[in-house]
């Protein structure tokens, strides 16, 4: 019996595998039960669950490629738009240098599409009136009643022609009624449809206040820069704006007018609002005359909120526009069907691989099947965790990657088992063959699998979304494959060769030395092969190895000559 | 499977030996013929690119009662009279209509018109729009990926095997696989879609993987016991290829089985275009990759190395000793 150290080592490694598996399940359990963000089933990509995918290309006005910062901001702008349209669980990601991928469950209506692709619009509008966000009033009976929808017959044209953007005569009877009935929870501020020269009803970011605003007086192009900083005196966070020449002049006019309202106590008409995509992101009060085009906005900012506002002003000012690169809708039934096809194909593929392994490798085939099973469990739980932590979604291409990987994984075992068999053919004992075969096979597997992982990484970095899913699953399974190989297959082999079935080389074990052309009595003691199936060549090769070690230089030369002769005639007749 | 074992034993010992290196001139002629043929195929049968590469709009009507193709053209023309349409019946029950690029509004209207014409729910009509830049981007990215991957692989293999000649042989073998696979694709008239491109990229990984396994055995045979073996360099390479032949066969079978399952299912169960496209290219690629490793990469490596002075003189010594031994007996 061999020393027990490989056995102990094997048990320890297997225990490690159980621990790793346990920890992975624990992590996901934490995600499911504690954070309530994870799930026990993998998240599916759009092509498997159905939905709409729109790929937009962001373009700056001057045609220059947008920076990563601008892209992130553009994605944030689109996210707000999608959220505003009442679609939940949309997935918005930037991809490559210029693309934004919007994935929406279900079919996106035309309004949502229009909203998504309209360009970012930042406007400055004077405030005419403001109230809390509620669209209800308390009636005589003491109950809250929603304001009725405005009567269409109400007067919609100003009685007197407004003289400036702050003129109260903009507020017609109809607009007043609309303003009161406006529901911030269900806003209708489509950025594509807000006329610049008309008043606008808009809610603030938090949905806590609503504003009745005058026509736009300046747009985002007036701003050249916006940064978050601290007031040198009070240390409070503020947002510092820099305007261009035209902006400075126009803002000066607005500032003069609004500052006068402040002095006259005409609140809230001393406020002006920054409106991004039809939402008020800030509505500061004019605190003085600003004629140098460098206003700063102060308030109860934190560093984060100041930075957000600065970014919104800066990037909202950039007239980023979006062109649709591709859009497609997959119906939910089609997605489910595709997933079904994938799963069935996977199961059939798995069954075929199992049957073939069992035929060719007999009982060793069972180890292949067991390893693939362990691999399946680990891959599944890791995909669940990745869905939670990284937002990984399994796409159809990803499923294909998983199915293809079954075959690739089985190959590591083929390399290993063929190696063991080669060692057996060299006349080694089964236990020694497993150790030596492992030593050689692992080198081969490490180098060849690194090439696979390299391919997956390069694909993942360079490819677009469809290819990414595939590269990701292929890379992931290759990594898990190598892991399983070291931490499951090899230790299991080490243990199994200590059993009589495998260690004794049972004909059904797949490790029958006799069938493999070698026979041993005990360690390092060989006798000639008597069976017909054992090739003479094996014996010759083995004897040559043995003989080589004991030869003198002169003998070796002679043997070399003989060997050369033998391999050239292939018959191998002759004495040793 | 005693016969398989015996076959393996004989290959291992060298009793049975396929002349992968010995007859390499023949294999190279065949390989060159295949590559030239693959390059010529598109001249006769232009490669079909899918709509993702050409740009356009595509509508799929799921399982309508009638599969009359005229109905589709009529419906499209009722919205855009000048549109060119290509209508096909997919997997016997769905109607797929490809048109020029349409605006969003037109797309909506065509979807509605199709649903109406075939008497199905609007939900059963899926539409997609692909801008012309999309395919261009994918192609450019894929080519970049290919170039970077090849460069890195070349480097890693050269470092691992300590000879750039193995990298060169492996990569030439790889290009061989790629060209032939695309040739087969073109010959069969399959459309090249983004999914097929994924498949081609996977083949790269698979082909290199396969070559690496065989080359590792070659490395072992030519360095570890090469000096005393009494074999010429070419014979050592050939023995290594033969010794790994059972593995090569088993690997390609096992790798092809699941992929074949996808193909099989995809062919009978409809609508799994992505899966079918990916698996088709991989299936063809696996077979070509196995062939290429055995008949192109390994003999090529032997060809590259044989003229090195050290190897040349050793081979000469082995041959001389062999002659002498024959004379002695």
Q: Can you tell me the mean pLDDT for A552-567? A: 53
Q: Can you tell me the mean pLDDT for A295-305? A: 82
Residue A508 contacts B where some CB pair is shorter than 8 Å: no
| Interatomic CA distance for residues A75 and A312, integer angstroms | 12
Q: Which of B282, B280, B281 is nearest to B264 (CA)?
A: B280
Unique residue bearing structure tokens 């590591």 = A412
pLDDT tens string for chain B (329 positions)? 456 677 777 777 777 788 888 888 888 999 999 999 998 988 888 888 887 777 788 888 877 777 777 888 888 888 888 877 888 776 667 788 888 877 777 877 888 888 888 888 777 777 777 776 666 776 777 788 788 888 998 999 999 988 899 999 999 999 999 999 988 888 888 888 877 887 887 888 888 888 998 998 888 888 765 566 678 888 888 888 888 888 888 888 988 998 888 888 876 665 556 777 778 888 889 999 999 998 999 999 988 988 888 888 888 888 888 888 777 65
pLDDT at A533 exceeding the cut of 50 = no
The predicted-structure confidence for A179-206, as pLDDT tens digits, reads as follows 888 877 766 655 555 677 788 888 887 7
| Interatomic CA distance for residues A92 and B96, integer angstroms | 29
Q: Are strands B56-61 and A525-526 parallel, antiparallel or unpaired?
A: unpaired
**3 state DSSP class of A279:** strand
Highest-pLDDT range among A151-165, A412-426, A536-550: A412-426
Confidence at A166, pLDDT banded by 50, 70, 90 = confident
Share of chain A above pLDDT 70, in %: 81
Our CA angle for A328, A333, A337, nearest 5°, is 100
Q: Can you tell me the mean pLDDT for A386-406? A: 83
Confidence at A543, pLDDT banded by 50, 70, 90 = very low
Q: What is the pLDDT of residue A85?
A: 66
Question: Which one is predicted more confidently, B208 or A161?
Answer: B208
Supply the mean pLDDT for chain A: 77
Nearest to B255 among A342, A407, A415 (CB): A407
Q: What is the pLDDT of residue A524?
A: 43
Confidence at A537, pLDDT banded by 50, 70, 90 = very low
How far, CA to CA in Å, does B49 sit from each of A313, B136, B148, B193?
44, 12, 24, 6
Per-window interface: A 85-144 vs B, CB < 8 A? 96, 107, 110, 113-114
Torsions phi, psi for A229 (to 5 deg): -155, -175
DSSP conformation class of B269:
S
* HSE of A179, CA atoms in CB hemisphere, 13 A: 23
Torsions phi, psi for A240 (to 5 deg): -100, 125
Nearest to B9 among A360, A400, A534 (CB): A534
Lay out the sheet containing A279-282: strands in order across. Answer: A200-203, A209-219, A122-132, A272-276, A279-282
Partners of B171 in the β-ladder: none
pLDDT at A308 exceeding the cut of 90 = no
Taking CB atoms and an 8 Å cut-off, how many pairs form between chains A and B? 313
The predicted-structure confidence for A325-352, as pLDDT tens digits, reads as follows 777 777 777 778 778 888 888 889 889 9
Instruction: Quickly list DSSP for A207-253.
Output: SSEEEEEEEEEEEGGGEEEEEEEE-TTT--EEEEEEE-HHHHHHHHH
Record: contact A397-B251, CB cut-off 8 A: no
- List CB contacts (< 8 A) between A439 and chain B: none
Q: What is the pLDDT of residue B49?
A: 82
Q: Which of B89, B222, B107 is nearest to B166 (CA)?
A: B222
Mutate one of B178, B205, B244 to test the A interface: name it (highest A CB count within 10 A). B205
Question: Which one is predicted more confidently, A364 or A161?
Answer: A364
Question: Which one is predicted more confidently, B26 or A51?
Answer: B26
Question: Which one is predicted more confidently, A548 or A475?
Answer: A475
Picking from A10-14, A363-367, B16-20, B183-187, which range would have the lowest pLDDT averaged per residue?
B16-20
The residues, any chain, with a CB within 8 Å of residue B306's CB and separated by 6 or more, are B233, B234, B312, B315
Q: Are strands B48-49 and B191-192 parallel, antiparallel or unpaired?
A: parallel
> How far away is chain A from the Cα of B45, in angstroms, using its nearest Cα?
27
Q: What is the pLDDT of residue A20?
A: 92
The predicted-structure confidence for A309-319, as pLDDT tens digits, reads as follows 887 787 766 66
Estimate to the nearest angstrom the gap between the alpha carbon of B112 and the chain centroid.
Answer: 40
Q: Can you tell me the mean pLDDT for A539-545? A: 45
Per-window interface: A 343-382 vs B, CB < 8 A? 344-346, 348-350, 352-353, 356-357, 359-360, 362
Extract the tokens encoding A125. Answer: 């509008």
Mutate one of B95, B146, B198, B323 to test the A interface: name it (highest A CB count within 10 A). B198
Helices (H), chain B: 2-13, 24-44, 51-54, 69-79, 104-118, 132-161, 164-188, 194-219, 233-243, 245-268, 273-292, 298-306, 309-328
SS3 content of chain A, % helix, strand, coil (to 5): 50, 20, 30
Q: What is the pLDDT of residue B132?
A: 67
pLDDT at A296 exceeding the cut of 80 = yes
* Omega before A106 within 30 of 0, i.e. cis: no
Nearest CA in chain B to A334: B271
Our CA angle for A546, A550, A553, nearest 5°, is 125
Q: Are strands A237-243 and A272-276 parallel, antiparallel or unpaired?
A: unpaired
Question: Which one is predicted more confidently, A145 or A379?
Answer: A379
Picking from A111-115, A208-212, B167-171, which range would have the lowest pLDDT averaged per residue?
A111-115
ipTM of predicted assembly, 2 dp? 0.81
Beta strand ranges found along A133-222 (DSSP E): 136-138, 144-146, 200-203, 209-219
Estimate to the nearest angstrom the gap between the alpha carbon of A164 and the chain centroid.
Answer: 50
> Which sign does the torsion angle of CA B238, B240, B243, B245 carry?
negative
Record: contact A397-B274, CB cut-off 8 A: yes
Question: Which one is predicted more confidently, B191 or A438?
Answer: A438
Q: Are strands A520-522 and A525-526 parallel, antiparallel or unpaired?
A: antiparallel
Q: What is the pLDDT of residue A377?
A: 92
Q: What is the pLDDT of residue B36?
A: 92
Q: What is the pLDDT of residue A549?
A: 47
Confidence at A570, pLDDT banded by 50, 70, 90 = very low
Share of chain A above pLDDT 90, in %: 5
Partners of A132 in the β-ladder: A209
**3 state DSSP class of A443:** helix
Nearest CA in chain B to A403: B258
| Interatomic CA distance for residues A388 and A393, integer angstroms | 9
Q: What is the pLDDT of residue A557?
A: 55
């Amino acid at each position: 019996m061999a020393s027990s150290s490989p056995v102990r080592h094997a048990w320890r490694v297997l225990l490690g595998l159980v621990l790793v598996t346990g920890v992975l399940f624990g992590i996901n359990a934490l995600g499911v039960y504690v954070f309530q963000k994870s799930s026990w089933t993998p998240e599916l990509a759009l092509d498997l669950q159905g939905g709409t995918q729109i790929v937009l290309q962001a373009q700056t006005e001057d045609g220059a490629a947008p920076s990563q910062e601008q892209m992130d901001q553009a994605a944030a702008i689109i996210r707000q738009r999608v959220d505003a349209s009442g679609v939940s669980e949309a997935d918005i990601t930037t991809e490559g240098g210029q693309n934004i991928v919007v994935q929406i469950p279900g079919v996106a209506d035309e309004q949502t599409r229009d909203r998504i692709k309209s360009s970012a619009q930042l406007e400055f509008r004077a405030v005419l009136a403001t109230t809390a966000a509620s669209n209800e009033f308390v009636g005589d009976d003491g109950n809250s009643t929603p304001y009725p929808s405005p009567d269409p017959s109400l007067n919609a044209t100003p009685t007197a022609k407004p003289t400036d953007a702050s003129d109260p005569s903009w507020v017609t009877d109809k607009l007043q009624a609309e303003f009161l009935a406006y529901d911030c929870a269900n806003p209708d501020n489509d950025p594509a449809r807000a006329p610049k020269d008309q008043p606008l009803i808009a809610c603030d970011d938090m949905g806590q206040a609503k504003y009745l605003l005058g026509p736009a007086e300046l747009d985002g192009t007036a701003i050249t820069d916006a940064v978050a900083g601290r007031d040198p005196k009070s240390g409070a966070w503020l947002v510092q704006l820099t305007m261009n020449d035209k902006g400075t002049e126009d803002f000066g006019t607005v500032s003069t007018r609004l500052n006068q309202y402040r002095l006259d106590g005409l609140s809230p008409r001393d406020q002006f609002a920054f409106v991004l995509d039809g939402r008020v992101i800030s509505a500061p009060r004019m605190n003085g005359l600003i004629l140098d085009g460098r206003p700063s906005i102060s308030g109860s900012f934190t560093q984060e909120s100041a930075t957000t506002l600065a970014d919104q002003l800066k990037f909202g000012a950039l007239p980023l526009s979006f062109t649709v690169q591709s859009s497609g809708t997959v119906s939910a039934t089609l997605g489910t069907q595709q997933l079904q096809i994938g799963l069935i194909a996977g199961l059939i593929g798995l069954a075929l691989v199992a049957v073939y392994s069992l035929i060719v490798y007999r009982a060793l085939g069972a180890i292949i099947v067991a390893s693939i099973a362990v691999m399946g469990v680990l891959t599944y739980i890791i995909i669940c965790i990745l869905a939670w932590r990284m937002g990984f979604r399994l796409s159809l291409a990803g499923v294909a990657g998983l199915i293809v990987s079954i075959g690739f994984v089985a190959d590591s075992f083929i390399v290993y088992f063929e190696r063991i068999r080669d060692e057996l053919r060299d006349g080694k004992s089964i236990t020694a063959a497993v150790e030596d075969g492992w030593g050689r096979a692992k080198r081969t597997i490490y180098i060849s699998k690194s090439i696979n992982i390299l391919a997956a990484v390069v694909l993942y970095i360079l490819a677009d979304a469809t290819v990414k899913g595939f590269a990701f699953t292929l890379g992931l399974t290759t990594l898990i494959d190598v892991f399983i190989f070291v931490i499951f297959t090899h230790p299991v082999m080490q243990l199994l060769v200590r059993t009589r079935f495998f260690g004794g080389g049972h004909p059904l074990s797949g490790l029958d030395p006799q069938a493999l052309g070698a026979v041993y009595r005990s360690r390092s003691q060989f006798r000639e092969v008597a069976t017909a199936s054992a090739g003479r060549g094996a014996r010759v090769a083995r004897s040559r190895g043995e003989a080589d070690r004991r030869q003198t230089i002169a003998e070796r030369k002679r043997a070399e000559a003989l060997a050369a002769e033998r391999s050239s005639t292939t018959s191998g007749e002759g004495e040793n | 499977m005693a016969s398989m074992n015996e076959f393996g034993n004989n290959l291992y010992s060298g009793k049975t030996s396929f002349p992968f290196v010995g007859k390499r001139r023949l294999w190279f002629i065949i390989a060159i013929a295949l590559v030239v043929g693959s390059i010529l195929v598109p001249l006769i049968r232009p490669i079909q690119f899918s709509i993702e590469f050409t740009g356009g709009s595509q509508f799929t009507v799921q399982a309508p009662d009638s599969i009359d193709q005229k109905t589709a053209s009529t419906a499209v023309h009722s919205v855009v009279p000048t549109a060119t349409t290509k209508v096909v019946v997919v997997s016997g029950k769905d109607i797929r209509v490809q048109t020029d690029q349409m605006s969003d509004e037109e797309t909506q209207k065509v979807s509605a018109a199709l649903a109406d014409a075939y008497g199905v729910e609007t939900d059963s009509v899926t539409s997609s729009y692909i801008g012309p830049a999309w395919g261009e981007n994918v192609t450019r990215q894929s080519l970049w990926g290919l170039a970077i991957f090849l460069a890195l692989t070349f480097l890693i293999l050269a470092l691992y095997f300590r000879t750039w000649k193995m990298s060169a042989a492996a990569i030439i073998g790889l290009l061989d696989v790629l060209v032939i696979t695309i040739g087969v694709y073109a010959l069969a008239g399959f459309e090249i879609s983004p999914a097929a491109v994924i498949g081609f990229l996977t083949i790269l990984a698979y082909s290199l993987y396969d070559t690496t396994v065989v080359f590792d055995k070659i490395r072992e045979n030519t360095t570890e016991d090469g000096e005393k073996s009494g074999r010429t360099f070419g014979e050592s390479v050939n023995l290594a290829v033969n010794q790994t032949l059972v593995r090569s066969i088993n690997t390609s079978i096992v790798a092809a089985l699941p992929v074949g399952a996808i193909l099989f299912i995809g062919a009978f169960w409809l609508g799994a275009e992505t899966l079918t496209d990916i698996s088709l290219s991989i299936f063809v690629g696996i077979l070509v990759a196995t062939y290429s490793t055995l008949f192109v990469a390994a003999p090529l490596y032997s060809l590259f190395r044989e003229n090195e002075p050290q190897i040349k003189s050793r081979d000469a010594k082995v041959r001389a000793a062999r002659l002498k031994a024959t004379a002695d007996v």
